[in-house]
Amino acid sequence: MAINPMQRKARNSFLIGFLVALVIMAVVVFILIYQIKSAKEAVQKLEELQKNVLVATEDLKSGQEVTFDDFTSTRIQTTVDASRIIDSDVFEWTNADGTVATKIDKDGNEIKKKMIMKIAVPAGTIVTRDMLVEQENQTTDTTRVQEYNMIVLPSQLVNGDYIDIRLSLPNGQDYVVLSKKLVLGTNETSIWLQLNEEEILTLSNAIVEAYTIVGSKLYAIQYVEPGLQAEIIPTYTVSGEVLALINSDPNIKEEARNNLWSRYVAENRTNYFESALAENKENQGSLVSAGNSSEVEIIKSARQEFVESLEGQEDKVGYSR
């Protein structure tokens, strides 16, 4: 049966329209599939960015001692490399075989492992491995908290700062007595430090000589970035009498005694210390002493004003166990 030209035209138009619709549908399906695939890949990438991290619960400063309690664990999206992410295991003691250990003090309380912040971070910041360093100075049986009020303190010293204690002599020599000590507490005139037996004897010797040698000054100086700055090697040498006491003290480790003896021999205290102590102490260094006294009074006045401005901020000044 012959097809009417009008019918043929209508059929061809229908077929063309149908084919066009199929092409459009295919394109739409392809686009939808691509979008779904892209969405899945985006979700996968976001899931890969999801990591369990430790963030600071409060502002932490450089050099601050921290434990696991100073952080909170949370899951967030971050581009920080997984190798830099820390977990609670950083704050765990481990045995030689890698198993977790527990340390107990004499009172039966668990000793928490402490780390030191290399840099200051605000609360809510992700803390990574390169921001922390393990605390090197572990508490020993001879460690005690000592209070000192004869050391000239920086005017803006606060709790948690790290200091060197130095002895300045009237001839211009300046010795490091103790290096990188944490200030447990401080007020207008006093500081509280955690020292071992050898450090206590060394500082006591320096205090006596600071009083004896006219024009000398025993003072503290702050670290700028204690988390990044290593402690320096002490250069002060104790007297022969104190060295003999240290050598006979069973509470002081052999390594410490050997280091002090080596320093004593290398320094040769008779070059200055012994001669200074033997001379007329009333006249020696009188001009330097007058200058030091004026400087100390200015620092004391500035410190008093600074401490008064921090009244009520127990985390900054004062000491309580």
pLDDT per residue rounded down to tens, the chain (321 residues): 556 666 666 666 767 777 777 788 878 888 888 887 777 776 667 666 677 888 999 999 888 888 888 998 888 877 777 778 888 788 887 776 767 777 776 677 777 888 888 888 899 888 888 888 876 555 566 677 888 988 989 988 988 889 999 998 887 788 899 999 989 889 888 899 988 888 888 898 888 888 878 778 899 999 988 877 888 888 888 877 777 777 776 666 666 666 666 666 665 565 556 666 665 444 544 544 554 566 677 777 887 888 888 887 777 887 776
Q: What is the DSSP letter of 251?
A: T
* Chain centroid offset of residue 219 CA: 22
Report the C-alpha gap between 202 and 239 in whole angstroms: 9
**Where do the domains of the chain lie?**
51-134, 144-309
Tokens of 240: 């022969």
- C-beta of residue 126 within 8 angstroms of C-beta of residue 78: yes
Please state the length of the chain: 321
Amino acid identity of 224? V
For residue 309, CA distances in Å to 4, 49, 52, 222, 224 come to 105, 45, 41, 20, 22
| Fold annotation for 51-134 | Type Iii Antifreeze Protein Isoform Hplc 12 (3.90.1210)
